Chain A
Amino acid sequence: MDATGSSRTCTVHNTMKLEETTDLLVRVARLLYTYAHPTDDLVAVVTQLGAALGARVVLGVR
């Protein structure tokens, strides 16, 4: 994976519950959004992190 969120498909061993996975994704999304990261890259990074954690992610940014 690179800084724009592009990556080979990869799923890591994740023992986190759905709630914890969601918490982590929310924190990453909030940080990247708050500190003016381009939205396309933000969505790609969060989606890729979710995929690595075995979760399907839909991020709506408004």
Chain B
Amino acid sequence: MTLTEIEPDASSTSVVVHEAMAPAVYTRLPNHILADAASSGDHKVIGRLWILGSLLFGLFTLVADILVRVERVDTDSIALFTSVTTYEQWFSLHRVSLVFLFVVPLLIGIAMVMVPLQIGAPSLSFPRAAAAALWSWAVAGVIMVVSWAIDGGLVVRPGEDVVSQATQLSMLSLAAVVLSILVASMVLITTIFTERSQGMSLYNVPLFTWSMLVAAGVWLLSLPVLFSNLMVMWIDARGDAAQNFGNARLYDQIEWVFDQPQVFAFAIPVLGLLGETVPVAFRRRLKGYDSAMIAIGLFGAYSFGAYAQTYFNPNANTTWLYVVGSLLLIVPILVMLGSIALTAKAAGRAPAMSAHFALSLMALVALLTAGALATVRVLDSLLAPVLGFLNGVVGFFQGSGSGSGDGWDWLTRFEGWVDDTFDEIFATSVAGAMVQLALIAGLLAGVAGFFYWSSKIFGRRLPTGLGMLAGLTLLGGAMLSALPDAISGFLDQPDFGGEFAARDGVQALNVISLIGAGVVFAGFALVLLAVPAAVFLGSDDDDEDIDNRNPVGGFTLEWLTESPPPVGNFDGPYVVTSEAPLLDDDFQNPYAEGASA
């Protein structure tokens, strides 16, 4: 016989909190703000702290970028750093921190604040896990930087038999950073799956939310592989004598994360953000919303790069999956561009220029350039076989079916040129240029989101002029630093590029690249200045005609709540039927003119 529980007596379950047990009135001191922030499970507080942390780490990352480029100006010797290994340590640190301490956390922070608002949810799923992810990321990030500073890092010094404890600390702290980002991704995906408003299916979520779902999904599937790389390295380093993993150039084992196609996974929200800013700029729905959704999904699928580990499989970058995937990367970007063009045509008027619209377009330009460089890097694997096949066909007909012809001479020479030119560039600074542009695209998307939703994030809109100037500076600096690197790559400058015999012109190009890095830093400083400028010099919000809830004229649910949103976000649940509910005739907007509150 099975025993089942008996329904408990209702009266025994009632709980009454005696007012006498609690003080009638208590006061919360202002110095509790820090404690409240540290212990908060509110998605807005957590998101703001992610953004703040990423901006602080961003300053460090961009300074490291400048230092690395200063060293590269003189390719004959090591001047700024004490040795080639130290230079390589800094090089790997700036790449790792650019992704895991700066761009990805910035995007996560914006998503933590905005995704629940966009889907009409009062909070995140697993808010405590979100807070745990934030604090473990922050602590692990600091430990990681410190471990590099005490001569750790992911480049083992030549001749070292025992892997230093500082290096082991670098592995573990990076693993902790990755784990934190994985937990944050899990929280975001679960929130999007479970907390959407009534009527909001996955087919009509706002495009930024969709892009974060795709991005977090790709991170969730690819970054555990990075975590496994780090664990193998660490356990190897803990052994009596490391074998092949813990004592090799460790950065090479995880380089796939900072190379195509994986690096594009950190720029997926660029496309989503365009899906938000373009309709607002043209004051109409996005044309081709479904195509844009598919494009973002495909971009995510192509950017999954855990299979492309050239350290373990040197031929990984010549497989058809890699080559075709690298070629197709650019297609979703072009689809998004087409969607923007159709929207502009349907609107029949010029867009309302704003900082967020300009910044998101700049992010698209950077991403398109990075995508073009990714295509160039696989041209050898793609074009040489095609040209060889064509020449074989020509030769077949030249020999009247006997197959004895040599084909066209010019085609043979062209095939040889393609083979010579593009075969060698894979590991050169062309790769660095592509990585730089893809990540700057992610950064520009983050900054665009920062400006677009500033009234929700900070409670104030940021100055439009400053935003546009920052965007132009960031994009200009990125182009100035990346394009010379791309040219240097064709002149055989390696990606790391510490101490080597450079061909003519490389050092001059490196000087231009250094200037570009300085301009990027200046652009970032302008972004940081935007918040104090809005506070002390006033912002567009000071105009009384501006609607506090919807100052930019957006069409999605986040624009229904106050700026900044209160705890719980919304006054009530909403029923939505499209991706832009505020444009729907049947949507009951309690704040629309003529609506009863």
A and B found bound together: no
